[in-house]
A and B are shown apart, each in its own frame.
Chain A
Amino acid sequence: MEKRKRRSPSKRPEKAWELRLYVAGQTPKSLAAFANLKKICEEHMAGQYHIEVIDLIKKPQLASGDQILAIPTLVRKLPEPIRKIIGDLSDTERVLVGLNLREQK
C-alpha cells in the first residue's frame, strides 16, 4: 500500500513511517519508550506514522524476525533502510538521528 519514495521526510505521503516498538511486558522502561515515541512522532511526522507495539513476553517467537536483542527496541521498518534504536528513547536528539530525521552531528 505504501509507495516507496526517496528519502525526503517533509514530503511523506500517508503512513510512510512504519515503526515497531518491541517491549517485554509493561515495564517502566517500556512505558517510557512508548510515551517518548508518541511524543516524537506527533512532533515530527504527525499523521504519517504507524506504531506497532509488540510485546515479546506474549509473542516470543517474533524476536528473531527483526533480530531483537535489547529491550526496548524501536525498529524503523519504513522508510528503508531498517534502523534500530534501542533504549527508552529518552534522548530525543539521538532518536531523531537514529530515525534519520536529523543530520548526524
Chain B
Amino acid sequence: MASAKRTKGQPKLLPKSPTGISGLDEITGGGLPKGRPTLIAGSAGCGKTLFAMEFLVNGAGQYDEPGVFVAFEESAKELAENVASLGFDLKELEKKKKLIVDHVQVERSEIEETGEYDLDGLFIRLGYAIDKIGAKRVVLDTLEVLFSSLTNESILRSELRRLFRWLKNKGVTAVVTAERGEGTMTRFGLEEYVADCVIVLDHRVTEQISTRRLRIVKYRGSLHGTNEYPFLIGKNGISVLPITSLGLSHSAAKTRVSSGIKELDNMLDGKGFYRGSSILISGTAGTGKTSLSASFVDAACRRGERCLYFAFEESPSQILRNMASIGIDLAPHLKNGQMQFHATRPTLYGLEMHLVTMYDTVKEFEPSVVILDPIDDFIAIGSQAEIKSAMTRIIDFLKIGHITAMFTTTVPGNETASQAIMSVSSLIDTWISLRNLENNGERHRGLFVMKSRGMAHSNQIRAFHLTDHGIEIGHMDFARRHNGSSQS
C-alpha cells in the first residue's frame, strides 16, 4: 500500500500495512512496513502484546488481512481474556477464520537436547496456520522464550535468522515483541534480526503519575516522527497522540462565528471569532468566564454545531444549574446530543493522558467547538516547558480540525495573568480579560479584549453583566449609571 504518488525520478516509497491503531498510522506515515518484520520492544507491562494484538485484530476486522498470533507465554484462553477488556473478541475472529491464536508451549524441564536439530517444527506449525486462513499478518510474542528453553544458542540464532528470511518470503507483515535489555535494545539481541522497523514502548511513573510513551527508533526507508508520543490503553484499544509540535502549516480560516453575545461580536470587528481560532478567557474567580463559555456553546448548538465541554473544576450539573440561573439553558442541547460534557479532575492523570483522551473524544464526537474550563489545573501539573508543549499540541490539533477552542483561566488578584498563562498567551488568537474594577466605591465587572489576531477589535473596557436572561455587555459610564440596576 504505497502511501504517496510517484513523481519522476523519485524512488518508490515502501508499501505499508495500516495498523488501524489510533494515531500510529499518522506517525508512521501509513503503518508498518508491509511484508517485513517490525520489532516492538519494551519492559514488562508496557503494552507490547496489546499493540501486536490490535495490529492483528484490526488487520482481520478492517483491512481484510487475516492474522496468526503465535503466543509463547500466554495460553490462547489467557490472551482472549486479557484483550477482552479492549473490546477485542478473539473467539469471533477465530470462528470467522480471520485469526488463529497458536500457543507454543516450551517447557524447559521437559526438554533434553541430544545432538543436532533445527526448528522446523515451528516453521511447519507457523506455515500451516498461515496457509489455513491465508494470513497476511503474523505476531510472535515473544521469541525470547526460546532463549530460556533451548540451550544451544548457535542453533537458535541461526534458526532465527532463517525464520525472518522465511517470513519475508511468505510475504507476511510480522510483529515481533521483546523485552528491553539493560543497555541493549532487547535482552537477547532480537534487534539483530529485525532491522526494518523498531518501536520502543516506555511506561514511566513521575510523581505518582504514570505515562506511557512510544518512540519509533528506526524505520528503514520511511520518514517518521522521531519524538516520543504518549499513548493510552483504553476500552477501545490503544490510542497514540500523534502530535508533538506541528509545523505552522494550517490554513487560516476565513469564516467567523458568533460568540453568542451580540455586543461582544461588535467588539470583535462586528463579526465575532474566527472559526478554528483559540480563545482565552481570563479573569479572577467568579467573574463570569464559565458564563461566557456557556453563551458561546449555546449559540453554537443553536446553529446546529456540536460542542464538547471539558469541565475540570465544576460538575456538569453544577454548571447547568448555574447557567440556568442566568438564562442560559444547555439542557436541551445535552438531551439531543449536540453537546457533551466530559468532567475529570486534571490531577488524576498526567498531562499527556488528558491529551490523549481529549484527542480520542474529539475524533469520535467531531465537534465544531471545544471548551476547556479551566486549564489551570493542567498548569499545576507540569513544568513550564511541559505545559507550553501540551497547550501547543492541543491548540494545533484543534486548529487543524477547524475546531474553535475556548479556554478559561482564573487569575489571582487583579493581575493580568499568571506566569504560566503569559507563556502560552502567544499561542492564543483572541484573549478576553474579565476584571473587577472599582470606582467610586463600587465594583463592576469589566470585559476587555486584550488581543484578537486578524481583526480590528475594540480597545474599550466594557461593562459586563450577568442578568437572568444572559450576559449583557454595555458601556462603562460611571457617571450616568443608575445605582443597583442591571442596565447600563
Q: Does A82 contact B (CB under 8 A)?
A: yes
Digit string of B101-133 for contact with A (CB within 8 Å is 1, else 0)?
010111100111111111111101101100000
- Knowing A85-B111, A87-B113, say if A71 contacts B119 (CB, 8 Å): yes
Cβ A71 vs Cβ B120 within 8 A? yes
Q: Does A19 contact B (CB under 8 A)?
A: no
Cβ B112 vs Cβ A94 within 8 A? yes
Cβ B121 vs Cβ A56 within 8 A? yes
Cβ A90 vs Cβ B122 within 8 A? no
Q: Does A50 contact B (CB under 8 A)?
A: no
Q: List residues of A (59-85) whose CB comes within 8 Å of B's CBs.
A: 60-61, 63-64, 67-73, 81-85
Cβ B113 vs Cβ A94 within 8 A? yes
- Knowing A83-B110, A87-B115, A88-B117, say if A67 contacts B105 (CB, 8 Å): yes
Which residues from chain B contact A24 at a C-beta distance below 8 Å? Answer: 120-121, 124
Partner of B127, one of A33, A60, A72, A94: A60
How far, in whole Å, are A82 and B102 apart by their CA atoms in the complex? 21
How big is the A interface, by class? 20 to 34
Cβ B124 vs Cβ A86 within 8 A? no
Q: Does A91 contact B (CB under 8 A)?
A: yes
- Knowing A22-B121, A71-B121, say if A29 contacts B116 (CB, 8 Å): yes
Cβ B114 vs Cβ A63 within 8 A? no
- Knowing A70-B119, A71-B119, say if A95 contacts B112 (CB, 8 Å): yes
Partner of A63, one of B116, B117, B121: B121
- Knowing A24-B120, A67-B105, A70-B117, say if A98 contacts B112 (CB, 8 Å): yes
Which residues from chain A contact B111 at a C-beta distance below 8 Å? Answer: 84-86
Q: Closest CB-CB distance, A73 to chain B, in whole Å?
A: 6
Cβ A87 vs Cβ B121 within 8 A? no
- Knowing A24-B121, A61-B128, say if A69 contacts B106 (CB, 8 Å): yes
Cβ A91 vs Cβ B106 within 8 A? no
- The residue among B117, B146, B150 with the most chain A CB atoms within 10 A of its own CB is B117
Q: Which residues of B contact A (CB under 8 A)?
A: 102, 104-107, 110-122, 124-125, 127-128, 146, 150
Known contacts A61-B128, A70-B150, A90-B116, then 12 further A-B pairs from the complex at CB < 8 Å, ordered by chain A residue: A24-B120, A32-B115, A56-B120, A64-B125, A69-B104, A70-B119, A70-B121, A82-B110, A85-B112, A88-B116, A94-B112, A95-B114
